[in-house]
Chain A
Amino acid sequence: MKRPIFWVLAVAILAVLMILGVSWGTVPLTPRAVLAALAGHGDRNAIEIVRALRLPRVALAALVGAGLGVSGAALQGSLRNALAEPYLLGVSGGAAVGAVIGVALGFSSAIALPLFAFAGAAAAIATAILIARAAGGRADPRVLLMAGVIIGAFANAAIMVVLSGAPANTMRSALWWMMGSAAAADWPQVAWLAGYTVLAGGALLWFSRDIDILALGEESATALGVDAERAGRRVFLVSSLLAAATVAAAGLVGFVGLVVPHLVRAAGIRRHRALLPGAALAGASLVVLADLVARVAHPPAELPLGAVTALVGVPFFLVQLRRLS
């Protein structure tokens, strides 16, 4: 695929999916009613549905997807591992432990929960880097990935321990959160996540040359005068925090960070300066679509967002695994 065609397509697909996301939902509305509601005319309930529920929700889904896509692309490049992504590296798990502890302690508000998630993600990042240091003396990418898987397992165990005595509704809440959902999206949350996505995404874009060099391998990096360990750690830290921000906003949405960079690379885009924005666009499209499926598949109930992305992601993971071996 020619590069310009990719960009036009990526933007067009995202735009179409976002329009679909605003016009479609549990409640059927005609296109005319949606337009009127957007302009603030017509039925009050339709206005609320479109402006207060669907718009922030589509925006949040797009940001979660963009964040996970960029995070996954940066991690895959810097770790030189085609299977790397925040979910598999334990970062999302760490964030989830933090959030579940928050829920178990009775802090289920939109303000308190993200703080717990951040604390958990930060603890997971620190532990992963410590384990990697202790095991290899240097931040070996493979040891780091293994440490991530171990931390993910530990995170699951910790969640089960915290929840063992919890009442049924708390359990249901925590499990719901662990499967991801954009259902509770509101504008402050969108603004908050947008800030993180722009800051962390911008930082990663700033590091994109480093990621290109890291992707060539540590020896080449040293030959090119880049401190591979420091550069790698920096990228790992920023992408982890970006992933934690998405977890805080919408819970655990797995496999987006895995699938999306592969799709963009398949379009012939390799340099991270282009790969990262490409992954942001494709990730946003994927999660907006997944959220739409989650909303309309089984009304009036909703499916967990993470379950929808996992249904797409797991077969994709297996295909990648076969290609590697």
Chain B
Amino acid sequence: MPATTELLFAIGAGPRVVGRTPWDLWSDSARRVADVGVGLRPNIEAVLARRPDLVLLYATGENRAAAQALRAAGVAVIALRIDRVEDFRRAARLIGMATGDSARAAAVVDSVDRTLARVRSRTAGLPRPTVFWHVWDAPIITIARGSFLDELLTIAGGRNIYEDLSQPSPQVSLEDIVRRDPDVILAGPDGAARIRASATWRSVRAVREGHVLVVDTSLIGHPSVRMGEAATVLAHLLHPAVVQ
């Protein structure tokens, strides 16, 4: 999965990565690694064909059978679920230990934390615009308290209108978004284009007033080593005059 592949390359284990999913496209050297198919219900044969010593799996019920099959084939498996920033720190330590790169893993975590702290201090006294984070539109999926993106948004000086919901990415209704009345909408390039072209989304004040901001979904979206960079970009989007 993207988050762990990014982490592996960041801690210097990149040359030993023998397989990835189709979505692991950062960094450029990761693209050269063989694509063994999707990370949910992975193709066990394709994974084993790469002869890995260790497989990093997304921890979910759908992957339980795959984890068992891989362990039965003698491959070490670490199942990880990275939803919050703290999950990333834990995953980095775990992967660092497993690959023998503990020191570099700790350095990567430190660097991410330092950048996050810097952004947080930069936005500390600023007014906080309320934000609706658009993930998908049919059904409408957003980001809530369970996700690292909610944390990044807070660090970047925004306030998520769905910070009261505990899931990472809940489904919500347009009517409820109108009621919560965000100042700003964050969306990927395609999502933003669809929102701006839609008649129904015009019922949201932020859309009528032209406050739909485009985020780079390839940078912002993976709970990994580039979270600091992501928070900086978000802070710049929300507070262009203050944060460069």
B-binding residues in A (CB < 8 A) = 25-27, 44-45, 48-49, 52-54, 56, 108-110, 165, 167-169, 172-173, 176-177, 181, 183-188, 295, 299-302
Select one of A53, A165, A173, A295 contacting B200, CB under 8 A. A53
Q: Known contacts A109-B194, A176-B139: does B23 contact A53 (CB below 8 Å)?
A: no
A-binding residues in B (CB < 8 A) = 22-23, 38, 40, 135-141, 165, 170-176, 178-179, 181, 194, 197-200, 202-205
Q: Known contacts A167-B23, A177-B138: does B198 contact A186 (CB below 8 Å)?
A: yes
* Chain B minimum-CB-distance residue to A300: B176
- Contact of A169 with B136 in the complex, beta carbons under 8 Å: yes
Count, A-B residue pairs, CB within 8 A: 89
* Chain A minimum-CB-distance residue to B23: A167
- Contact of A169 with B135 in the complex, beta carbons under 8 Å: yes
- Determine how close the nearest CB of chain A comes to the CB of B158; give it in whole angstroms: 20
- How far, in angstroms, from A256 to B135 measured CA to CA in the complex? 32
Q: Known contacts A169-B135, A172-B139: does B175 contact A27 (CB below 8 Å)?
A: yes
* Chain B minimum-CB-distance residue to A251: B138
Chain B residues in 8 Å Cβ range of A52: 199-200, 202-203
Select one of A54, A173, A187 contacting B199, CB under 8 A. A187
Chain A residues in 8 Å Cβ range of B22: 165
- Contact of B173 with A301 in the complex, beta carbons under 8 Å: yes
Chain A residues in 8 Å Cβ range of B136: 169, 172-173
- Determine how close the nearest CB of chain B comes to the CB of A261; give it in whole angstroms: 30
- Contact of A27 with B200 in the complex, beta carbons under 8 Å: no
Most chain A CB within a 10 A radius of its CB, from B23, B40, B139, B176: B139
23 A-B pairs within 8 Å (CB atoms) are namely: A26-B179, A27-B179, A48-B178, A49-B178, A49-B179, A49-B203, A52-B199, A54-B175, A108-B138, A109-B197, A169-B135, A172-B139, A173-B139, A176-B138, A181-B139, A183-B138, A184-B138, A184-B200, A186-B198, A295-B175, A300-B165, A301-B171, A302-B139
- How far, in angstroms, from A25 to B174 measured CA to CA in the complex? 11
Select one of A167, A177, A187, A299 contacting B173, CB under 8 A. A299
Chain B residues in 8 Å Cβ range of A108: 137-138, 194
Chain A residues in 8 Å Cβ range of B179: 26-27, 45, 49
- Determine how close the nearest CB of chain B comes to the CB of A113; give it in whole angstroms: 10
- How far, in angstroms, from A295 to B176 measured CA to CA in the complex? 11
Q: Which 8 A-B pairs have the closest CB atoms?
A: A48-B203, A300-B176, A52-B203, A186-B199, A301-B171, A300-B172, A27-B179, A26-B175
- Determine how close the nearest CB of chain B comes to the CB of A20; give it in whole angstroms: 15
